[in-house]
Structures are given as C-alpha cells and as structure tokens.
Amino acid sequence: MTPNGFIVPKSHSNKEFNALIDTFYSLFDTKELQNVIKYWQEPLGICFKSNDNDRSDLEMKKSGRLYHQTSNFHIESWAGYSNFGINTLLPLFGDTKKNYTEFFEPKENYNDFEVNSVTEKNLNQIKSKNYNEKPANPAFKNEYISGNLICWDNCLLHRTKIEDKKSYRIFIVNQFIPYLSRKESKANIISKYRKIGRLTHNILSSKKHILKFSKINDRRFKSTLGGKRDAYSYKVMRLK
C-alpha cells in the first residue's frame, strides 16, 4: 500500500485484479460514452482511506513536494495528470459521511492557466483567487454514498476529509481523458510518465486483453514523485 492508501497490484493477484478491471470499466462501456472516453490514466486505483494515511508535517516538509497527500487541497494536474481529465470515484465500503472527498467549486473568474502554474509559494494565493471558500458538498451530500459513481472535472479543487479518526473508506478511482479537439490538444498539459501510462478504453474493456503485473511490484512501491516516474510495472497481454 502506498503512503496515500493506494493498493499496488501484485503479480500473484493478476486474475482477481483483471476481473475487477473488467467489471469496473463495463460501467462506462455504453453507446453514449464510446465516442467520449479515449484514454484511462491508470489500470485501476483501489484506495483505502483512514486517518493513518496522513503523513506527519515533518515528513511533508522532507518530501519537498507540492502534491504529497490527498488531505491537502489539490487538483490532479498538479501531479502530472491531464488538465482535461475527468476524475471518477466509486465508494465501495466505509463511512462516507465522516470520511469523504471535499470539493470546492471554481469562481467565475477562474483562470485555468494560472491554476496549472501553481507553485508551493503561491498556492494559497491562487486557491483563494480561483476557488470558493465554502465546500460544495452540501449540494450533493445524499449522492455521495457507497455504490454511487461520482465524476468531476479536473478543475474542481478537492481533498480527503476525515471527521472521525476511527473511520475508513474503500473506493475505486481513476481519471479518463476524453477525445480532444485540435485546440484542446494544444492546450493539454500532461507529464511524460502520465502520458506513457495511458491506456485506451478499448483495451481495458476488451475481453481480448489482460494486464500482467511484474514481480517487482511484490517487493516494493516507488512514488511517482508527482508524475515524474512510473509507480509500478505491468504489460498488456493480448489473449489468443
């Protein structure tokens, strides 16, 4: 498990992980979405969130990273993901009333270029200038429950919110990148390794492919350092 609570797939769980992949992406395999979703950013994110996931202030300072833990305000493009990405989250188990994702809507004067040029020094200034101070959760509190799929645009600021230190939450999360126009493609910002890590929806939803995870994942996990390197190794295998 990573410091942020993501469960890294192991070589000995290939069969189970691929079965979960097949089930999750079948939710998006509809006529309406066939011409919308081009890529998924990762094979699949299985996450366990509890108070133990949060690292200490000392560890955060040592990391020297803007994007270090999900309890901090963030958008996914700050970790190298596409600024045109659409995030998906499916709560499965746990207390979603006291352990959830808190969202903050952009203001009318939201500046995407400015937000995606954030640094550690100007983070608070850009956040207050571009986002509402009050969370948007009250507008959909009855929808944020286990079994309901939640999707949001990359520009929506968010963070993990844990009100009960004894609570936990297990969910599936990933980001898809839609088909982009030529103008959008020129404005698309994505890190080298996030770009390499993309998988087409056709591969993930196809019965003709499986993912085979390397044994190196069984021994250790390495951080992506905000999208600067690969987190784990796998191969796409075409079935005969």
What token pair was written down for 135? 């969370």
Q: Which DSSP letter does residue 129 get? A: H
- Residue 189 near residue 99, CB atoms below 8 Å: no
- Going from the C-alpha of 119 to that of each of 48, 79, 227, the distances in angstroms are 28, 12, 15
Residues 6+ apart with CB under 8 A from 174: 40, 41, 42, 44, 45, 87, 88
What are 59-94's pLDDT values in tens digits? 555 554 444 678 888 999 888 899 999 999 999 999
More confident of the two residues 114 and 141: 114
CA atoms within 13 A on the CB side of 155: 16
Q: What residues contact residue 210 under an 8 Å CB cut-off, 6+ apart?
A: 14, 18, 236, 237, 239
pLDDT tens for each residue of 8-39: 788 888 899 899 999 999 999 888 888 899 99
* Res 66: pLDDT: 44
Residue 146 pLDDT > 90: yes
Q: Residue 221: what pLDDT?
A: 60
| Eight-state DSSP code of residue 131 | B
Compare 3 and 116 and report the one with higher pLDDT: 116
